[in-house]
Amino acid sequence: MLSVLQNNINNVICHGRRNVLRNLTVIKCNFSNQPSHQKIFDRNAKRLQKERAALSPDVELYDYLKEEVGYRLADRVFDIKKEFNTAADLGCNRGFLSRHILAESVKHLTLCDMSPAMLSQATGTPGLEISKREIDEELWDFPEQSLDLVISSLSLHWINDLPGCFGKIIRSLKEDGVFIASMFGGDTLYELRSSLQLAELERKGGIAPHISPFTQIRDVGALLNRAGFTMLTIDTDEIVIGYPTMYELMFDLKGMAENNAAFNRPVHLDRDTMMASSAIYKEMYGNEKGVPATFQIIYFVGWKPGPNQPTPLPRGSGEVSLKDLGKMIENSAKSKKQKTDK
């Protein structure tokens, strides 16, 4: 009797183990099918927004911000005293960056954008060889080690998988290739964001994501390091633009194709909330001329490792201690003064 009972117990235990292993296998397979990143932005909605903005008859009225940022970013390309044979502009929009790239710096530039209307309107400077590719920035598929330079101006903040995008970019770069880009930072439109949130808290008792999330500057450096870029240079700039009211700001954002494209964006913003938001905006941030809107721009430069790049000396090879640096500067200043006195 005891032996029969023991056999039944062993069968139950073995059957339970098989079920547990089967369940673990199913769980493992389910996890492996999960995407490596979260889908925050609706790329199809963003493409339609860009198409609508590009086909507008007064599209040039809304170029002022992206034109200025493109000019500043092109100046950073010009500062690198190196000629790039092959380059690509990731998310070129209407050519706000390519129209400032000189042929003395770049020989051939490939313009990439997912909006055919914006791509058709992009141009370059005289003497610059240009080709165009209609491609989603998230589907970057340039061959490995085929580019000397990758540039992007105010386009990366709409990409869902930013680490994966950086990884594709560094693989497409040749050794000692460089990645130069700009994107909106986390403090962009903080006035509009806070005004909408306060108005909704008052009217509805909760908030909705009317402003898309932006990347913080500390995260950009971490992601570039993770992708393998070296000799990073990251800086920020703030551009403050004045508007008569909040409504003109929102109208211009739509004209720039920078309206919200998050999946969880609300479909409708009722009139009461908009009027309350405008009043809060004016009260908290306004002045006698209107209301300001802050755009934080993050500029960054990253290099792909190469044999000709400068590398730090081995640890412990220094001959001068940092604590003696002050004394060395004082001695140098004294010696210069003595020479001038003589």
pLDDT in tens, 107-164: 999 999 999 999 999 999 999 999 999 999 899 889 999 999 999 999 999 999 999 9
Percent of the chain with pLDDT over 90: 65
**Which residue's structure tokens are 């009797």?**
1
The pLDDT, as a whole number, for residue 31 is 39
Under 8 Å between Cβ of 292 and 240? yes
Assess whether pLDDT exceeds 90 at residue 191: yes
Assess whether pLDDT exceeds 80 at residue 91: yes
Kindly report which listed range (39-53, 248-262, 299-313) carries the lowest average pLDDT score.
299-313
Residue with the larger pLDDT of the pair 151 and 213: 151
User: Residue 135 phi/psi, 5° resolution?
Assistant: -150, 145
| pTM of the predicted model as reported, rounded to 2 decimal places | 0.80
Assess whether pLDDT exceeds 60 at residue 11: no
Token readout for 267 is: 């479909």
Q: Which range has highest mean pLDDT (22-26, 163-167, 321-325)? A: 163-167
Residue with the larger pLDDT of the pair 28 and 114: 114
The pLDDT, as a whole number, for residue 268 is 80
Q: How confident is the model at residue 187 (pLDDT cuts 50, 70, 90)?
A: very high
Residue with the larger pLDDT of the pair 320 and 166: 166
Could you give the 3-state DSSP secondary structure of residue 131?
A: strand
Assess whether pLDDT exceeds 90 at residue 327: no
Element (H, E) at 250: helix 246-255
For the segment 298-309, the average pLDDT, to the nearest whole number, is 91
Q: How confident is the model at residue 284 (pLDDT cuts 50, 70, 90)?
A: very high
Question: How far apart are alpha carbons 207 and 257 in whole angstroms?
Answer: 23
Residue 316: which region, alpha, beta or left (left: phi > 0; alpha: psi -120 to 50)?
left
Q: How confident is the model at residue 316 (pLDDT cuts 50, 70, 90)?
A: confident
For the segment 288-308, the average pLDDT, to the nearest whole number, is 93
Assess whether pLDDT exceeds 90 at residue 96: yes
Look at the domain 43-304 and name its fold. Rossmann fold (3.40.50)
Mean pLDDT, the chain, whole residue set? 86
The pLDDT, as a whole number, for residue 30 is 41
Nearest to 42 by CA among 212, 186, 193, 268: 212
**pLDDT one-digit tens code per residue, 230-273:** 999 999 999 999 999 999 999 999 999 998 888 888 878 888 88
Cα first-last separation, the chain: 115
> Between the CA of residue 263 and those of 11, 47, 163, what are the distances in Å?
50, 14, 20
Assess whether pLDDT exceeds 80 at residue 339: no
The pLDDT, as a whole number, for residue 152 is 96
For the segment 90-103, the average pLDDT, to the nearest whole number, is 94
Assess whether pLDDT exceeds 70 at residue 276: yes
The pLDDT, as a whole number, for residue 320 is 74
The pLDDT, as a whole number, for residue 207 is 80
Assess whether pLDDT exceeds 80 at residue 19: no
